[in-house]
Amino acid sequence: MRIAIAAALAATLCAVGAPAQAQVEVGVINSLSGNFAAFGERYRTGLQVALDEINASGGIKGQQLTLTIQDDRSEAKSALAAAESFASKGVPLVIGSYASSITGPLAQFLTRQKVPMIVLGSADDSITKPGSPWVFRAKHNSTIVGKAYFDYFDHLKTTKKDVPLETVAMLYGNGAWPTSLAKEGKRLASERGYKVVGDQSYDQGVTDFRPILNRFRGANPDILYIVSYAEDGVAITRQMREVGLNAKVIAIDTSAALPSFVQQVGKSADYVATAVSWSQDVKYPGAQELYERLKAKAGGEPSFYEAEGYLALMVAADALRRADPKSRDSVREALAATDITTPVTTVNFKSADGFQGQNPIRSLILQIQDGKHVTVFPDDLAAKQAQHPTPEWSTR
Amino acid sequence: MTKHLIGLGVLLAVGVAYPAIFPNNLTIAISVLLFAGWATSWDLLGGWNGQVSLGHASFVGLGAYFVAIGQSQFGLAPWWTMAMAAAVAAVLAYFWGWLTFSLRGPYFSLSTIAVAEILRLVAINEEWLTGGATGVFIATLPEPFGVDLFSRTAQFYMALAFATVVIATVIVISRARFGYQLRAVREDEDSAMAAGIDPTATKLKAFMLSAALTSIGGGIYGIVLAFIEPHVIFALLLSVQIALTAIIGGRGTIWGPAVGALVLIGAGEMFRTTFAEANMLIYGILILVVVLFVPRGIVGELARRHIRRLYAKRAQG
Amino acid sequence: MAGLDIFLQNIANGVLMGGVYALIGIGLTLVFGVMRTINFAHGDFVVLGMYSAVLFNALLGWDPYLSLVLAMPIGFFAGVIVERFILSRVIDAPPESALLATLGISLIIGNAILLTFGGEPRSVQVSYASSTFSIAGVNLSMVLLLAGIATVIMIAALYALLNRTEVGRAIRGTAENRLGAELVGIDTRRIHSIVFGLGVMLAVMAGVTLIPLLFATPTNTGAVFTLKAFVVTVLGGLGNVGAAIAGGILLGVVEVLGASYFMSEYREAYGLIAFLLILLFRPEGLFGRTVKRV
């Protein structure tokens, strides 16, 4: 950790000390302290892996690429101060941040300052819908992820016709992401003929979900659609087993995608499905090799967050190579014309369905099988078949 | 009195010139001015009247939401919605105070946390009212006399006007009959009552004024952010920061809360840009140091030393 | 399941959650009762206890309950040191100074943990995390049941300390009337150190005991715990640590029943509403004796 601080300090000092000679500087606004620091750490790992790769292969038109990372303390007002300093410093583009409560104001400000921005972590629809000509997002949003889940449910329904999937119960935190993904889920459920038999949200507390899970047990849903952050998802899974809430499909967004989920839940984690933007076993060229590099840099098991950090900087570098880094207009045009393939996903910012600057990334559905995350959907990217239906707790 | 008016003049003069001198550091200055205004408003109740509220984020949120929803759903200009927010904040404070002013000391503070947390949950859960957990964007704003309210310079002047008006209000009150009533209630409610002051009425007035002023600053904050989420704007953390700012600067002093805002926001920004992840740790240490060495707050301690010197002189003379 | 069965199940869950809340709140009840300061760092001390269990588990492979042996004395002395060097210096300053000091301590603890352990939530995985114990058709969670037993033991021990020992009598005397206690020869400064030491020790013990059940994050969790602890303290009332159990159970039952039969999204509000009602209509708490209007 001390090394990391020293490195960050050194990075800041270098960026301040050395005048812009033969290097291209990209501004990053990331949550390194405060409530979202866990995510900020992961994003930074991914950014650094991308930075090493870019500079090893000649940088930006022969010039070194440098990152200036500013901490936003997980709050909007600090992020906006950082954005103002980047805007006045003349960086060609800014990458940031994780929470939508920070990224929303950032997008508004950078649009007015005419600074191209690549979204780092926020997945809220509202960032790119209606969006702005200056804001680009290579990762997913709630519309894409919601659709991925329901495509998966439909897929299970058609492949195993003897297992009826008709009812769904939803449980989600009251944060921006869980709420918007639940809203999208409810819309899709009614559109595709699923009956919503449970709809409950919760505030951050002491992770006791027994009352809600007991309520759901009375409704006996076929599908559990759960959107929760890290520890909440772990507690929900443990308590689901405890109260004996059975379902044929259990989907837990965000929480179940983290490597620590399997460690903390143990055997009960099996059969749980989760949507991600990237996974090590996805059938994209270079995915496995990227996994090794992310793992080496992180010093632990990487997740899709690292991959998203990597993706953001790769998109930036690609645009900078095709543009004049001194002109933000030219960088913006280059970003809009992006058409690349990375080990994380393909990227193009073709606007559709009211979105602007949004990459129509394909979300993957992972299922935990024998304690490992396995890509099971969509079919052409899957490593294995989904295990379906989920057996009852009493038989496991 | 003249001393304070000169201070106000200096604030305005520096403020008017600031955007020309530091055109690239406006966001941080806006934060300082907003916090100065909020902390000074808070101090009307918390410092002058001795009722420590830990729920003032509710009023910030109220102001921000009135401006955001008024603009995005009803096309109402921010000056109208800010006036409405101030009125509603005063009414809310009236009921809030009516409910909790029978409690004293730490019990009052705890009750403000409870009320504010319930309001936060309402803002998150009642989608028909606030747009819910996913937040509200301000996409367009009117342009009075061709001024773009989205520009940081315009926002800076709004925040400057806000801070100035709040501080001027406190200067006036500090010399008015109401100011003496506030202090009498703070020192001893029973004696104040014996002197013919109604403690509850005094506290209610202070709370209503404090709430109304805070909500106006909240409206400006909404414009600055242009996107607000209930979790953040109604957070206990923001309430605590407002109280912290006033206490660090010096409770019950005219310039203390403003000085507190300058010191805390300035230090926070400096730590953020130099210490990376450790910045909040060092911020915590700073708070401890201030509490231990200047327990009455920065301005409070200075004023106390000044008064002691005066007495010492008089004793010698 | 019939309606009555579900109701009994919910009551049982509420009571067990109440045990958890009482455990979180007990240290604060003691400190608040004697020192009358709003200790914003209380939840962070609980979190510190959780991380100590995580640390001992990772380094030495210790069961969380075993790490109590080390965590308890460390917690006590940490509390004494914090009181001696920080809180005792501001005890005679305006009351907000102590509040501010605990806020600073809270920031320091949370961020020191963040720098040491990173931001990911931590817990210790135990084999019985989802096990249940059945009585008359009601399923009781094993981890909750263990936490409940720990609560009863801890509160019984504290009760014995306060009522059967010389130090305990001095603490109660200081709580009721500090000046009076001074007059009869009690060194209230020393008592304050001991009380804060005990408060931190109880917080750390709560953290260690709850780690198989709850999760620790550096900065979020502490604030949640602090808030719950205050609710427990006010619901139960001061001057009687047994009241913490009553306060905790009331909070647990109100929350669980509210979330089961009304809107679950307002779960955290039900406890706060009960808290406000008790403050306004029975300011001495359910079982307290000290009047809060002073």
- The string of pLDDT tens digits covering residues C4-56 is 888 999 999 999 999 999 999 999 988 888 887 788 999 999 999 999 999 98
**B224:A126 CB<8 A:** no
Q: Is residue C122 part of a domain?
A: no
CB pairs under 8 A between A and C: 113
Interchain contact, B110 vs C230, CB within 8 Å: yes
Q: Do B225 and A70 touch (CB under 8 A)?
A: no
Residue C3: per-residue pLDDT: 80
Chain C residues 211-250 with CB within 8 Å of chain B: 219, 223, 227, 230-231, 234
Per-residue pLDDT, averaged over C142-159, amounts to 89
* C143 vs B317 pLDDT, higher one: C143
pLDDT of A3 higher than 50: no
Q: CB neighbours of B67 closer than 8 A, spacing ≥ 6?
A: B78, B81, B82, B85, B138, B218, B219, B222, B223
Whether chain C has a CB inside 8 Å of the CB on B275: the answer is: no
By residue range, what is the domain housing residue A230?
A: 143-276+364-395
Look at B237 and A15; give whichever has higher pLDDT.
B237
- Residue type for position C58: A
**Facing residues of B222 across strands?**
none
> Does A231 contact C141 at a Cβ distance shorter than 8 Å?
no
**Chain B (5-64) residues lying within 8 Å, Cβ to Cβ, of chain C:** 46, 52
- Residue B114: which of C37, C112, C272 has the nearest Cβ? C272
Q: On the CB side of B156, how many CA atoms lie within 13 Å of its CA? A: 19
> C238 to chain B: which residues are within 8 Å by CB?
none
Name the residue facing A124 among B24, B31, B134 (closest C-beta): B134
Amino acid at B260: G
Kindly list the residues from chain C whose CB atom is less than 8 angstroms away from the CB atom of residue A265: 125
Mean pLDDT of chain A: 91
Rounded Cα distance between B38 and B50, Å, is 16
pLDDT at A20: 45
Q: Is residue C121 part of a domain?
A: no
Q: How many CB atoms lie within 10 A of CB B312?
A: 10
Size of interface A-B (CB pairs under 8 A): 119
Residue-wise pLDDT for C163-198, tens only, equals 899 999 998 888 888 888 888 888 888 999 999 999
**Residue A21 in this model has a pLDDT that exceeds 80:** no
Chain C residue numbers with beta carbons less than 8 Å from the beta carbon of A214 are: 6, 9-10, 13, 260
DSSP readout, chain B? -HHHHHHHHHHHHHHHHHHHH-TT-HHHHHHHHHHHHHHHHHHHHHTSS----S-THHHHHHHHHHHHHHHHHH---HHHHHHHHHHHHHHHHHHHHHHHTTS-THHHHHHHHHHHHHHHHHHHH-HHHH-GGG-EE------GGG--TTSHHHHHHHHHHHHHHHHHHHHHHHHSHHHHHHHHHHH-HHHHHHTT--HHHHHHHHHHHHHHHHHHHHHHHHHHHSEE-HHHHT-HHHHHHHHHHHHHH-TT-SSHHHHHHHHHHHHHHHHHHHHGGGHHHHHHHHHHHHHHH-TT-HHHHHHHHHHHHHHHHHHH-
Residues of B in contact with C280 (CB under 8 A): 99-100, 102-103
**Same structural domain, A174 and A262:** yes
Plot region of C14 (φ>0 → left; ψ -120 to 50 → alpha; else → beta): alpha
Mean pLDDT computed over A197-201: 94
Of A5, A38, A210, the CB nearest to C118: A38
CATH, residue C248: 1.10.3470
Neighbours of chain B (3+ CB pairs under 8 A): A, C
User: Above 80 in pLDDT, residue A206?
Assistant: yes
Residues of chain A with Cβ-Cβ distance to B26 below 8 Å are 84
Cα–Cα distance for residue pair A227/A247, rounded to 1 Å: 16
Shared domain check, A370 and A221: yes
Bridge partner residues of A64 (DSSP): A23
Interface B:C, Cβ pairs < 8 A: 132
Three-class DSSP category at C148: helix
Helix (H, G, I), strand (E, B) or coil at A27: strand
**Domain for residue A356, yes or no?**
no
For an interface test with C, give the residue of B95, B253, B280 to mutate (most C CBs within 10 A): B280
* Number of Cβ atoms within 10 Å of the Cβ of B229: 28
Question: Considering only CB atoms, which chain A residues are within 8 Å of C259?
Answer: 202, 211-212
Could you tell me the pLDDT band of residue A240, with boundaries at 50, 70 and 90?
very high
Has residue A191 got a pLDDT over 60?
Answer: yes
Q: What is the distance in angstroms between the Cα of A142 and the nearest Cα belonging to chain B?
A: 11
B302: closest CA of chain A, how far (Å): 30
> The CATH number of the domain where A22 resides is what?
3.40.50.2300
Query: Residue B51: how many CA atoms within 13 Å on its side-chain side?
Result: 32
- Chain C partners within 8 Å of A238 (Cβ): 129-130
Residue C97 lies in a domain: yes
Among chain A, residues having any CB pair with chain B shorter than 8 Å are 1, 4-5, 8-9, 12, 32-34, 37, 70-71, 73, 75-78, 80-81, 83-85, 87-88, 100-101, 104-105, 107-109, 112, 124, 126, 174-176, 178-180, 183, 201, 203
Check CB contact under 8 Å for C268 and B121. Answer: yes
- The CA distance from C199 to the nearest CA of chain B, in Å, is 18
Residues A85 and A226 reside in one and the same domain = no
Residues A171 and A132 in one domain: no
Chain C residues whose CB is inside 8 A of the B98 CB are: none
Would the pLDDT of A13 be above 70? Answer: no
Residue B54, phi then psi, degrees to nearest 5:
-120, 40
Based on the fold, state whether residues A314 and A196 are members of the same structural domain: no
- For strand A372-377 and strand A339-341, is the pairing parallel, antiparallel, or unpaired? unpaired
Least confident of A231-240, A284-293, B101-110: B101-110
**pLDDT reported for residue B275:** 84
The minimal CB distance from C6 to the residues A203, A205, A214 is found for A214
- A17 pLDDT exceeds 60? no
Chains that touch A (3 or more CB pairs under 8 A): B, C
Of C103, C279, C294, the CB nearest to B287: C103
pLDDT in tens, A386-395: 999 999 998 9
Question: Per the structure, how many domains does chain A have?
Answer: 2
Minimal Cα distance from B290: which residue of C? C101
The CA distances from residue B256 to B259, B270, C20, in Å, are: 5, 21, 42
Q: Which domain holds residue C101?
A: 3-114+132-281
pLDDT band at C244 (very low <50, low <70, confident <90, very high): confident
Chain B environment of A8 (Cβ under 8 Å): 276-277
Provide the shortest C-alpha distance from residue A198 to chain B (in Å).
17
Instruction: Give me B154's structure tokens.
Output: 């315009």
Nearest CA in chain A to B282: A33
| In a domain? residue C140 | yes
Chain C residues closer than 8 Å to A169 by CB: none
Count of domains for chain C: 1
What pLDDT shows up at residue C184? 87
pLDDT in tens, B85-132: 999 999 999 999 998 898 878 888 889 999 999 999 999 999 999 988
Q: What is the mean pLDDT of chain C?
A: 87
Query: Which pLDDT band holds residue A202 (cuts at 50, 70, 90)?
Result: very high
For the question of an ipTM over 0.95, the answer is no
- Examine residue A353 and state whether it is found in any structural domain, yes or no: no
Same-domain pairing of A251 and A384: yes
Cross-strand partners of A252: A226
Residue by residue, pLDDT tens for chain B (317 residues) are 788 999 999 999 999 999 999 999 999 999 999 999 999 999 999 999 999 999 999 999 999 999 999 999 999 999 999 999 999 999 999 999 998 898 878 888 889 999 999 999 999 999 999 988 889 999 889 888 888 999 999 999 999 999 999 999 999 999 999 999 999 999 988 899 999 999 999 999 999 999 999 999 999 999 999 999 999 999 998 999 999 999 999 989 999 999 999 999 999 998 998 887 888 899 899 999 988 888 888 888 888 888 888 888 888 76
Contact A105 B278 (CB under 8 A): no
Per-residue pLDDT, averaged over C211-227, amounts to: 89
